[in-house]
Structure 1
């Protein structure tokens, strides 16, 4: 019995030492101490085992022992198995900064580092722009007219956007721009996301493109000329990066710029001969100035003795000889202005290079540094805004749409879709707002930008699918009244641009994060490259301590022992503690994958994707917790917070299980399963009770619905078809304000009908209301109220129809199906 007690004591003591990463000396001391007690009072064999363990630990962990024999062997092995990092990968890894994503890699995230920078919201100037200029722009939008009738924004809206400097949000006031914070840019794009073409038109010039590149890298002359003109819309920019053979793989650009000499205005000028073909370039059809990425070569050594200068960026006026521009692609859904650009034997002077000659060959670094910020804002903000619109419309529609004499919002299948819509909107809003706040604090979140781009655009697609489901026939019949169809069909655009989502998930999130965010891997690789054995020794054995620490933390916290101390209230505490537990499990699994697979991990995309899913869901959960901590909760929000985190942590655990099920080294996988899931799965997803609560909140006039819709243009709203088309959110909000009163009267009339107090032929609601008035079931006031209410409901339920041949582009080829003119055979 004493032997068993001492064995348990030894294990518990070592787990404590490992959790604290107290070091080899402490571990040796614990094993020797417990071994001596065992030798004196219990078992010689247990003591011997502990002494052997102490010896091995001393040899491996104490610098004086290990550096003479262990470190050189480990260093030699590391050089063989460590992945080679190319120059382009190095540039990508060095772009951006590490923040909370790095904490999650440690296995012991310090919540103080997340909460220290509180999101203080927008300035008065930014809020005024959001509430005035943004709302005015949306009031000029008719989605059907923009997407179908004209395939462009109205001229008066273009003029308004230019006059109010929507294209100059990122440009400082010094150059005539608005100088908005990242939080303000996010808020503007969330609001404009109700209309995809409007959001894209405004978002692209404020994201990766000539404006941002000029701000960071342009010469003084380039800034002084172009930035004021970009800010007020005198210049409309586009940026040519992707092409038929180089989409997400921007490093494989086949487009070239050859350094050469040409006579210009009677003088011999050194410049570049450009040949390129770009596709899918947003705003290209109307752009007045084109940013261009190409591969620069100097075969004659006119600038240097290096022939391949690498990827380079230039800024080229539209009317430059040799440029073919103006044709359009037709993007699925909303045909925003997007098209090809082709250049054949174009000559440009060197001063067209962004940043001048000194920035030649720096294009890849320029692009990835800008992308680490822009990718956090434009598409994720559009996804969050579009999701909020789905909350508004799906919640409203399902409350007023009745089947079997009850609102379909009361049906559990519909409630499941509504709750998912609400949760993904809540997560998206928290993620974009708080990540933007990090940017305003000086961060360049490279890995979070990939997380947000992938997951939030996928959320957008999921949310729109759920919204389509609950709307039924209303959503699948296109026309001016259909506020879902265009956005739904266009959701694939966000999935594919700025790095295809498949690639982002399987290669970028973990692939970049494993090296960039890990506390030791980058140091180990640097030591290898510099052949610095002392630096390697320090990094490698620090890394080993982290592995043992994460193993101990993952195991004990999975058992509910030694839970992390977290600065959250009772409702959120268990979720933050679980984030800490899974952070340790994620860190341990990451190291196991890198150790067992080595350089092969690059090709194990599904393994990388599952680790990326763990990291992503932990990051998103952290943003929800930060949002909960910093904002004033409203009635019903705790249920939505719990639903969101239950979903995210269940997904984290699913990714962990799938990783363990498929890790090639089955012995390591089995050991990891014992450590990380000692009592099996714990997270099963949100409960039915949470589903009911959340669904009811967003389908009624509740404080939670209002908070989720705070990013939208709500407006006042009028009845009639014009209101349905121009602002369905306001129409639904007005109906929900009266819904409780209407529901009582629906039940009152239906009860009378079921009792035979109303005529059996009163099948339509309107007929039933009139019969209820005639029989005294309704008062005059109740009948008037329900006539008006039901008329507004019918406006929201009605779908469009068109003349028979209205869809035909070639109306001469339309078959005449008029039955009155058909002839007998």
Structure 2
């Protein structure tokens, strides 16, 4: 009886806690079971339950606790709470909180995610993607751009300007295209097979003068620059990174000193700039430079402020003292990128973006713009690269035969093929759904960091897998190699817009822990404002959340109290798993912040693992939303399951590693008992799913077509031949070809064909002579084999094609 009543008390408390129903129901449960215990069972148990009810009443009833507990807690909190710097506050205030906040809460409300459906592109936007984008990508062969020219062809530059590719974010009222975020993403996904082209178009439409002018520029600046940026009369770049500061704008050493100088023949107050920038995309050809620097007014020419902080200005290329035009050589594809140096460059104050009143607002301007730009440009490139890998790797492995079998039927090859398909599926869902959030008014700061890190890492894995299944075809560079240059250029995406290591270890959880948490920001604000009542509300709401997440994480891990989710029977269990891990993540986040305090900033591996949990839950949510909105094609259910099992496996693995490494071991063991009471349950996708997905992406199926939707699949009429179009053509004839392959191979094995018929073409002719193939079948196979051989062929060059050192050539020739 005693054990039964104890079980009832615990079960009742768990139900109350999981629903966060407040203190009164918990008190009633404890008191009721205590009375029954006193009457029919153990007085000791009753005493324990009454004490527990009293403790809940003391902490949970506002009037009771505020008289004696809140003040003491507030005094302690003010002593131990981490100090948030002004630059950190600016970063935390940038952007908006959306689905990332729901995941931090431990009780994600799926309706808040599903309410804004992705309605796709407008007719005008779709026509641009299907028309000018197809023309632009067909103009640019990767080998020609990266090796022969180290630049886009002049006709491509002219076309990009004519069709206003550089003005996608600029409103039509200023002569731009005024495209949605979804359309910008679709354009970049289409252009992704050529990294130089994608970067050239993407950068002016991301963090740079155009976006900064739109949001902060004066009317005069907008009216002058935006039309010229839209039609390509001005090519912009933005100088932020330097030899020592990298992307950390808060520590840049470049300065702008307020002083008097001469401009247009008149003495005016302006800025004397001294700066050294590196890795600036489009700098070698830019006509106007956006510049970030630290602004000082030592002589008080503008007022009492001496250190204004980070400031952004626009500087024309031909300004005296600015050295610009030299180039760096980015690995893989040497797009236009280079240094800018300025020595005593004088500019008037009106060159400050937004005018003098925006002096010192550069850090806020940059982080607010970056929160949107980071989740569009590089993630879209990753999505396009993944789709391209699906098209090429799936096609190549189907037509490439070993041991008289398509290598796509070998399980060792099917594993990376399925992984490529899943990465493409996840990446597209994340990019498209997050862009849709932007179009609905959100500025997703934390999701932008998630997408930047995880999707570019997916891109690295995807292209490595694609290279592996191609073998010698992909490691031999030349015009026919459609993967090698993109593979070599992956480190660029990994490094720019914040190096991935730092993004993972500092930004995702580091920013989200305060920005997205339901209560932490309120608690810190109460501390800064010395507002005890606001602290009381936030702190004890926070306490209720902790207990609620503990109850939800524990019960749902045991399969009890699964939340209601608005998904079909196929995807429901995955959504419920996301909700369960959301509760576990929320609990572990609070435990890390409580036990480590300010030290958590320095425990980057702990922060990184919590960020991994959050990121994989976010990506899984995007896949679920895509599934919810789409009309699935054949085999998409298997791909959806493969993708979500992969993401949930990664999330659980990150949670397990966090628990293994949390310094406070008693807390870690308690968290493990609550969040993983049955151990790890989500495994990597199994072999059956792998086989289905790999075969579907390497044959002419609706799933392959779906994965290639929005990719460059048309037959090229330009200088760049499209391998995806070639493979799609071959796959349409594959079923017939495979039957004929088997027929001829069987005859050869039986000795019905000459033993010297070793080449496929020889066997076809021998089979025709033997009457095993009709004339029409033989003609089909001749054409099919010729197309296959063209796709398998690699380039070769003259002996001296690559040599720069002529002495070496002479020495070899003499030998």
Name the TM tier (shorter chain). Answer: over 0.9
Are 1:717 and 1:734, in contact at CA under 8 Å, matched by a contact in 2?
A: no
What's the CA shift for 1:647? Answer: 0.1
The gaps in structure 1 that reach 5 residues or longer are none
Are 2:240 and 2:247, in contact at CA under 8 Å, matched by a contact in 1?
A: no
Greater Cα offset, 398-407 or 55-64:
55-64
Are 1:454 and 1:505, in contact at CA under 8 Å, matched by a contact in 2?
A: yes
Q: Report whether the alignment pairs 1:773 with 2:761.
A: no
Are 1:460 and 1:491, in contact at CA under 8 Å, matched by a contact in 2?
A: yes
Q: Report whether the alignment pairs 1:589 with 2:588.
A: yes
Residue of structure 1 equivalent to 2:161: 162
Alignment of 1:603-614 (within 5 A): 603-614=602-613
Are 1:717 and 1:731, in contact at CA under 8 Å, matched by a contact in 2?
A: no
Are 2:138 and 2:716, in contact at CA under 8 Å, matched by a contact in 1?
A: no
Residue of structure 1 equivalent to 2:105: 106
Residue of structure 1 equivalent to 2:81: 82
Q: Secondary structure at the match of 2:119?
A: coil
What's the CA shift for 1:317? Answer: 0.3
Q: Report whether the alignment pairs 1:181 with 2:176.
A: no
Residue of structure 1 equivalent to 2:786: 791
Structure 1 length as normaliser, TM-score?
0.98
Q: Report whether the alignment pairs 1:748 with 2:747.
A: no
Quote the Cα distance in structure 1 between the aligned partners of 2:432 and 2:341: 38
Quote the Cα distance in structure 2 between the aligned partners of 1:91 and 1:709: 40
Q: Report whether the alignment pairs 1:200 with 2:199.
A: yes
What's the CA shift for 1:813? Answer: 4.0
Q: Report whether the alignment pairs 1:362 with 2:361.
A: yes
Q: Secondary structure at the match of 1:302?
A: coil
Alignment of 1:4-19 (within 5 A): 4-19=3-18
Q: Secondary structure at the match of 1:571?
A: coil
Residue of structure 1 equivalent to 2:682: 683
Are 1:372 and 1:445, in contact at CA under 8 Å, matched by a contact in 2?
A: yes
Quote the Cα distance in structure 1 between the aligned partners of 2:175 and 2:783: 50
Q: Report whether the alignment pairs 1:560 with 2:559.
A: yes
Q: Secondary structure at the match of 1:274?
A: strand
Quote the Cα distance in structure 2 between the aligned partners of 1:320 and 1:639: 59
Are 2:249 and 2:310, in contact at CA under 8 Å, matched by a contact in 1?
A: no
Structure 2 length as normaliser, TM-score?
0.99
Quote the Cα distance in structure 1 between the aligned partners of 2:14 and 2:247: 45
What's the CA shift for 1:140? Answer: 1.2
Are 2:277 and 2:341, in contact at CA under 8 Å, matched by a contact in 1?
A: yes
Q: Secondary structure at the match of 1:379?
A: helix
Q: Deviations over 1:547-601 (max 9, x none)?
A: 0000000000000001010000011000000000000000000000000000000
Residue of structure 2 equivalent to 1:708: 707
Residue of structure 2 equivalent to 1:128: 127
Are 2:263 and 2:347, in contact at CA under 8 Å, matched by a contact in 1?
A: no
Alignment of 1:372-383 (within 5 A): 372-383=371-382
Residue of structure 2 equivalent to 1:803: 798
What's the CA shift for 1:717? Answer: 5.9
Q: Deviations over 1:728-781 (max 9, x none)?
A: 010000000000100111111111111111111111111111111112222222
What's the CA shift for 1:92? Answer: 0.4
Residue of structure 2 equivalent to 1:392: 391
What's the CA shift for 1:815? Answer: 3.9
Quote the Cα distance in structure 1 between the aligned partners of 2:61 and 2:173: 58
What's the CA shift for 1:80? Answer: 2.1
Q: Secondary structure at the match of 1:98?
A: coil
Are 2:252 and 2:294, in contact at CA under 8 Å, matched by a contact in 1?
A: yes
Q: Deviations over 1:445-498 (max 9, x none)?
A: 000000000000000000000000000000100000000000000000000000
Q: Report whether the alignment pairs 1:269 with 2:268.
A: yes
Q: Paired residue for 1:757, among 740, 745, 752? A: 752
Structure 1 residue runs of 4+, over 4 Å off? none
Quote the Cα distance in structure 1 between the aligned partners of 2:159 and 2:505: 42
Greater Cα offset, 299-308 or 65-74:
65-74
Residue of structure 2 equivalent to 1:519: 518
What's the CA shift for 1:816? Answer: 4.1
What's the CA shift for 1:263? Answer: 3.3
Quote the Cα distance in structure 1 between the aligned partners of 2:686 and 2:524: 45
What's the CA shift for 1:32? Answer: 0.3
Aligned length: 815
Q: Report whether the alignment pairs 1:212 with 2:211.
A: yes
Quote the Cα distance in structure 1 between the aligned partners of 2:756 and 2:249: 67
Q: Deviations over 1:66-121 (max 9, x none)?
A: 11222122212212221111100000000100000000001010000000000111
Quote the Cα distance in structure 1 between the aligned partners of 2:38 and 2:126: 73
Quote the Cα distance in structure 1 between the aligned partners of 2:484 and 2:23: 62
Q: Secondary structure at the match of 1:376?
A: coil
